[in-house]
Chain A
Amino acid sequence: MSPRFATFAIAALGLLAAGLPFIGLTVPGLFEGPLNSPGTLNLLGLCFVFGALALTYDIVFGFTGLLSFGHALYFAVGVYVTAIALVRWHWSLPQALALTALVALVLPLALGAVCLRVRDIPFAMVTLAFAEAASILVLQNPYGLTGGEEGLALGSGVLPAGLIGVANTAHLYWIATGVLAATGAIGWWAVHSPPGRVWQAIRENERRVAVLGLNPYAYKLASFVLSGFLAAVAGVAYLLLQGGANPQITTANFTLVLLVMVVLGGVGTLWGAVIGGIVYEYLDFRLLEFSNGSGLQDLPAVLRVPLSEPLFILGVLFIVLVLFLPGGLGGLLRHVPRRLPRPSG
């Protein structure tokens, strides 16, 4: 794509996304109900949030080459810190957001400083361990803050009136769209800035970056903190759309799902990651509907059981993709896959 066409396409898509709540069109097969129905808007909002989240993960994994398995933690910061401040401490929304922003800066900075002392797979394991510790903490429900397994519903009177109720789904949808647009803009700016180029150099050859006189540690930490902070922003949007916090988003499995999203879309391309996030969330939602639907009931158990598990289908799809299409969906759209699977041996 030429840059001019890309700019045009992004502007057109942005306008379409922003104007969607005014379009009463039905798209049979893709969405149930018209485009501006609350159900569709909520689903699309969630898709956009996951697109933004996948993009933040791509900054650290795809562009800096850091295989972090703890990204769910920073998303969870956005979800849980905001929810706790709002529900348990009865703070106003701006106060809660200020606190979340602070935690979302300090936590990735502190944990990243420790984790980045090791590289590659040990790094992956340590980030995983920290995220798991946070997940345990959330499930233990310390001082009754997190609500444990039941999660934390926002309830009534916590949020400003414009953000509550089915009638106001469009507002939440716009927030999600805004978060995606902002994350995309910041992400694009970051990876094209001078430090962003250093990130990609580190991904390719960290030692050479060090030899050139740059400190890879500081650049990696910057990438880690930026992506963690933006993930928390996506977390806030998720909290608002879902109307509550649930502990599933803190688990190690959720980080693995994030990895699936990014690889699905194409590692190392921002828009690929966004597409991956959107497609994954959409498929997950639709497959769940499909599994609860009547179409599967007549099938024998051998077929019915696997088909009614969205994560099974997505997991298999993911394996096939890794084996046969290393560039992800983004690579498929861009050009014919450059790297064909090589024969073993």
Chain B
Amino acid sequence: MSTIVLLLVTGLGLGALYFLVAAGLSLIWGLMRVLNFAHGAFFTVAAYAGFFAATALPASPWLQWFVGLLAGILAGGVFAVLTEIILIRPLYRRPVGQVLVTVGLALATLALVEGAFGSDPRQVTLPDWMNATTTLLGAAIPNTRFVVLLLAGLVLAGLLFFLQRTRYGLIVRAGVENRSMVSALGIDVERAFTLVFAIGGMAAGLAGVLGATYYGTIDPSRGTTMLISAFIVVVIGGLGSITGSALAAAIVGLLQQFLNFYAAAGVGDFAVVILLAGVLLLRPGGLLGGPAT
């Protein structure tokens, strides 16, 4: 029983990280039809920015952690906005070109981070409370899992509020539905492009720092792994659907944790790909997506 509870919470925590990366990917895809390969780079850069901001500050561990979190979100957001303005914007009329520049950016960033900070994982210092565990239904669960889950839940609620209740959210939703109609109505959709990149970058930045909290280490290559899992999550959940991404992220995280534990290491990762193939065969638009476009 306690093992099941532990796997449940850990799997959901992993799913929360996937969701944070996938949410931005899904919005960017939905609105701009850009498959952003640089999203993993946002994650990685934010993880390192958070790490160095935290270690540079002679303060209490909690304050350090918090500053690292803010620095990561900021770094992810700024990096994403710069990417959109400098690289994506000149290519608005060349969709494949947009994918290609993000590929180049992903490769170059990964190489630069590896060159500057080495490819070995670095240990992250956390507040004592986060290294401790809480007993829940007989299972000793690391407290970091709750932190990750709580923050991802807040982001989900915030995103839904933004999309459903604000004017800009309305523009984004309408743009996902029919972009040319929105510009025909005289609304500057391109400003919304920068906005979704900023939101997506900040969410990926948050995921970068939370990933460091979750695993206790940072390394340059985790962003790529996260990106691929997030791709899978986005497709399973339905491109452009935030709730779909949240649901799919939970399913993928749980499936990985349970099968990697009960079957064998690696089986969970494999099963996720099989699930992806199954979903595409039965519902090509994803769980909560419309018809495939």
* Stretch of B72-80, B85-93, B163-171 at the chain-chain interface: B85-93
Contact A125/B110 with A137-B266, A323-B91 known, Cβ cut-off 8 Å: no
Q: Is the CB of A342 within 8 A of B105?
A: no
Cβ contacts A253-278/B at 8 Å (1 or 0 each): 10011011001000000000000000
In the docked arrangement, what's the CA distance between A297 and B83, Å? 31
Q: Contacting chain B: which of A16-24, A84-92, A126-134, A157-165?
A: A126-134
Determine chain B's interface SS by DSSP, over half rule: helix
| Chain A neighbourhood of B105, CB < 8 A | 315, 319
Inter-subunit contact B277/A114 (CB<8 Å): yes
Dominant secondary structure at the A interface: helix
Interface string of A111-153 (1 = CB under 8 A from B): 0001001111110111011101100110010100000000000
The 4 closest A-B pairs by CB, nearest first: A315-B108, A311-B111, A318-B104, A315-B107
Q: Which of A69-103 touch B at CB < 8 Å?
A: none
Could you say which residues of chain B place their CB within 8 Å of the CB of A137?
266, 270
Q: Do B270 and A118 touch across chains, with their CB atoms under 8 A apart?
A: no
- Answer yes or no: B61 CB below 8 A from chain A CBs: no
The yes or no answer to A237 lying at the interface (CB within 8 A) is no
A126 lies within 8 A of B108 (CB):
no
- Please tell me if B250 contacts chain A, counting CB pairs below 8 Å: no
Interface magnitude class on chain B: 35 or more
A259 to B, closest residue via Cβ: B103
Please indicate the chain B residues that have their CB under 8 angstroms from the CB of A253 in the complex: 107, 110, 224
Beyond the given pairs A121-B33, A133-B270, A309-B114, 11 more chain A to chain B contacts, judged by CB atoms under 8 angstroms and listed by A's residue number, are: A67-B96, A118-B280, A128-B228, A133-B269, A260-B107, A305-B112, A310-B111, A312-B112, A318-B108, A323-B91, A323-B97
Which of B51-59, B153-161, B205-213, B231-239 lies on the face that meets chain A? B231-239
In contact, A129 and B231 (Cβ under 8 angstroms): yes
A126 contacts B235, C-beta separation under 8 Å: yes
Taken together as a complex, chains A and B put the C-alpha atoms of A305 and B101 apart, in Å, by 22
A126 touching B276 in the complex, CB below 8 Å, given contacts A119-B292, A305-B116: yes
Does B101 contact A319, Cβ atoms closer than 8 Å? yes
Q: Could you list 25 examples of A-B contacts with CB < 8 Å? A: A114-B280, A117-B281, A118-B292, A121-B33, A121-B35, A122-B292, A124-B35, A129-B231, A129-B272, A133-B273, A137-B266, A142-B266, A253-B107, A260-B104, A311-B111, A312-B111, A312-B115, A315-B108, A315-B111, A316-B108, A318-B103, A318-B104, A319-B87, A322-B100, A344-B92
Q: How far is the CB of B106 from chain A (nearest CB, A)?
A: 7
